[in-house]
Amino acid sequence: MAKQLYIHYDSVSNHVLTKSIAFHLSALPQSEIPQNLLLLNGKSSLATHDPYTGFMWVKGRKNVLAYLQGVEEGKEAPSNWVDFDSIDFVHQLTPQEIADLLYISHAKTHLHSPFFYKLQNNFIYLSLENGYSKVYYRKIEQFLPILSAQVQIEMTDILNETPKFLFFGADKVASAISIEALKEMMPLYREGISLAFDKVTKKEDSYEVPIFLTEDRYHYADKEVTQNVRIGQLAYSETYQNWKISAKLPTNDAI
């Protein structure tokens, strides 16, 4: 079922609040996939208990990817987590640093920097209520391949909604939207937007995905998303298999 992808980027703390966007780590280059994870409030058959911190930890990129795939498929219970390079340096965390990790996991926000020198973490992933998630990124550019992967999945699903007759017609796969195009939308992410794949319209061979200005929907969940705050669209051409973005933030008088 098509859905709306919600994105709100806080450039001060470098975190992204999202809904309906899976954490597709496999979309990142191999060298950027975390080597290990500390599960801050959960368990997994792929994880081992660390007596020093009291956390479970997932060792190795293969297990990290398997764990996150299991979460996406509902086979693993979701957990808040932080990545790290070396278990030896984890064992050098002070009681205060461990307390900071517990606080972030419980309060869903940070008191001090969410990036720990001893962990060398690039991410902190927090699972929120009502299907939202919050991820701290050391490098915000790492969010863009994850978003690109979800956009491609949503459009692929839409392309394959038309019933096939008997055995004719193979599954279609949408082209990925470029990282450069998504990067141009950074000012929109700061305001808070939704990519409304549940409101797609088709004109000849082109699909238009409305872009709505939704601001901080997580903290103001009752705010309605209406045509009055539509600020543009993503357009996908099935013939040319490419994307075009047309979006502009409204002036204060237009809101």
Output the DSSP codes for 198-223. Answer: GG-EEETTEEEEEEEE--STTTTTT-
Say if residue 232's pLDDT is above 70: yes
- Which 3 state secondary structure label does DSSP give 245? strand
Say if residue 116's pLDDT is above 90: yes
pLDDT in tens, 64-95: 999 999 998 999 988 999 999 999 999 999 99
CA-based max dimension of the chain: 63
- Which 3 state secondary structure label does DSSP give 236? strand
**In the chain, % of residues over pLDDT 70:** 91
Say if residue 166's pLDDT is above 60: no
* Confidence (pLDDT) at 169: 63
pLDDT in tens, 118-134: 999 999 999 999 889 99
Say if residue 253's pLDDT is above 70: no
- Report how far residue 238's alpha carbon sits from residue 174's, in angstroms, rounded to the nearest whole number: 8
**Cβ distance 247 to 230 under 8 Å?**
no
Neighbours of 75 (CB within 10 A): 12
pLDDT in tens, 2-24: 789 999 999 999 999 999 999 99
pLDDT in tens, 22-74: 999 999 999 999 999 999 999 999 999 999 999 999 999 999 999 999 998 99
* Confidence (pLDDT) at 227: 45
Q: How far is CA 185 from CA 15, 69, 144, 230, 233, in A?
A: 16, 28, 10, 15, 11
* Confidence (pLDDT) at 163: 63
Say if residue 255's pLDDT is above 70: no
pTM: 0.92
Higher pLDDT among residues 224 and 63, named by residue? 63
Confidence of residue 165 (pLDDT cuts 50, 70, 90): low
* Confidence (pLDDT) at 123: 98
* Confidence (pLDDT) at 224: 53
DSSP E strand boundaries for the chain: 4-10, 15-19, 36-39, 47-49, 56-59, 81-84, 123-127, 132-137, 193-196, 201-203, 206-213, 230-237, 242-247
Confidence of residue 219 (pLDDT cuts 50, 70, 90): low
Say if residue 135's pLDDT is above 60: yes
Higher pLDDT among residues 214 and 170, named by residue? 214
* Confidence (pLDDT) at 106: 97
* Confidence (pLDDT) at 223: 56
Average pLDDT over residues 228-246: 93
- Report how far residue 244's alpha carbon sits from residue 178's, in angstroms, rounded to the nearest whole number: 10
* Confidence (pLDDT) at 171: 87
